[in-house]
Amino acid sequence: MELAGEVDEVGSAVTEFEVGDHVFGIQGYNQPCGAHAEFICMRERAPLAHKPAGMTFEEAAAVCDGAISALGELRHLRKGQRILIYGASGSLGTAGVQLARYFDAHVTAVCNTKNVELVRSLGADEAIDYLHEDFTKNGETYDVILDAVGKHSFRRCRGSLKSGGIYVATDLGFLWHVPILALMTRRIGDKKVTFSITKNTKQDVLFLKELIEAGRYRAVIDRRYPLEQVVEATRYVETGQKTGNVVLTVSHDGGA
Ligand SMILES: NC(=O)c1ccc[n+]([C@@H]2O[C@H](COP(=O)([O-])OP(=O)(O)OC[C@H]3O[C@@H](n4cnc5c(N)ncnc54)[C@H](OP(=O)(O)O)[C@@H]3O)[C@@H](O)[C@H]2O)c1
């Protein structure tokens, strides 16, 4: 869905973009995917913007999906709130850490030993290595717990939520029961389950561009593969072990 590249052709009514402009963005959810390609046709009003200054195509291609998915619930964070991000080393997780930090929350990131330094460098106030510590047993409580990899559950971490706290689920594909829990916790108990259905808007892309240009956001890239190796790239992503994002590069003129 997400991409960066150079504008090759524009329609006669287009005013925002010109041939040769460097752009980045994401397909809207009501549009087909199709960004794993040399060319893609998008509307001017699509979630597309000029590429942030000083960013490569590869970096820009890895910005939107994870960040906009994380932004859904995090934009409601208030200054000083305590958030724990479980699975802080994925695409959504690395975005979540930076966005929560941007919204002035106190961020605790949970990840594997090898990614502790990374999440700290992204702005986490505290990092918990899940191989050595179970955050549900350390007595700490949070206003928000973001399960960024869909590997935890409301049942297991509700004791780590403050009264009025919110558990944010992300992977609805596998967590079919989340909408039911969200409805139930709206009426019962003082801890809520929530999720957001992201719309991918141009406004979101422009917001991220602003953050990047202000030095407040960067895309974390694990591996790069040429487009011809899309199968190998997908196999690697499906291991569930990638750190941040995996990027496909297009051979001519650097699109991604
Ligand atoms: N990427 C997106 O833009 C996007 C958008 C919408 C929804 N989603 C959904 O959001 C979920 C996350 O996707 P993603 O692309 O961000 O990451 P991902 O590829 O699913 O997760 C990779 C990261 O999760 C960590 N991880 C794996 N098992 C873990 C565990 N048990 N506890 C804590 N961390 C663990 C891995 O590091 P270690 O193995 O080293 O711990 C790795 O860094 C997926 O279910 C995806 O379908 C993703």
Atom of ligand 1 nearest to the CA of 243: 43
- Per-residue model confidence as pLDDT tens digits over 154-166: 899 999 999 999 9
Q: How far is the CA of 87 from the centre of ligand 1 (A)?
A: 6
CATH number where 107 lies: 3.40.50.720
Q: How far is the CA of 2 from the centre of ligand 1 (A)?
A: 17
Q: Do both 38 and 108 map to the same domain?
A: no
CATH number where 51 lies: 3.90.180.10
Closest to 101 measured CA to CA, from 229, 211, 233: 211
Instruction: Give how many domains the chain has, as a whole number.
Output: 2
Q: Do both 76 and 148 map to the same domain?
A: yes
On average, the pLDDT of the chain sits at: 93
The CA-atom distances, in angstroms, between 74 and each of 103, 127, 137, 191 are 8, 19, 25, 17
pLDDT at 184: 83
Q: How far is the CA of 166 from the centre of ligand 1 (A)?
A: 20
Atom of ligand 1 nearest to the CA of 91: 16
Ligand 1 pocket, mutate which of 92, 205, 208 (most atoms under 8 A from CB): 92
174 pLDDT band, cuts 50/70/90, is low
What number is the average pLDDT over the span 123-131?
98
Whether 254 shows a pLDDT value over 70: the answer reads no
Q: Do both 106 and 133 map to the same domain?
A: yes
197 pLDDT band, cuts 50/70/90, is confident
177 pLDDT band, cuts 50/70/90, is confident
Q: Do both 183 and 125 map to the same domain?
A: yes
Whether 194 shows a pLDDT value over 70: the answer reads yes
CB of 103 within 8 A of CB of 79? yes
Ligand 1 neighbours, Cβ below 6 Å, are 65-66, 69, 86-87, 89-93, 111-112, 115, 130, 148-151, 170-171, 173, 240-243
Domain extent for 237? 2-64+200-249
Give pTM, 2 decimals. 0.94
- Per-residue model confidence as pLDDT tens digits over 51-105: 999 999 999 999 999 999 999 889 999 999 999 999 999 999 999 999 999 999 9
Q: Do both 188 and 209 map to the same domain?
A: no
Q: Do both 25 and 83 map to the same domain?
A: no
Q: Do both 138 and 77 map to the same domain?
A: yes
CB of 49 within 8 A of CB of 60? no
Q: How far is the CA of 112 from the centre of ligand 1 (A)?
A: 12
- Phi, psi angle pair for 238, to nearest 5°: -70, -10
What number is the average pLDDT over the span 213-227?
97
Pseudo-torsion of CA 82, 137, 156, 220, nearest 10°? 50
pLDDT at 173: 59
Q: Do both 60 and 87 map to the same domain?
A: no
Share of the chain above pLDDT 70, in %: 96
Q: Do both 80 and 31 map to the same domain?
A: no
Q: Do both 133 and 98 map to the same domain?
A: yes
Residue nearest to ligand 1 atom 41, measured at CA: 112
What number is the average pLDDT over the span 172-190?
77
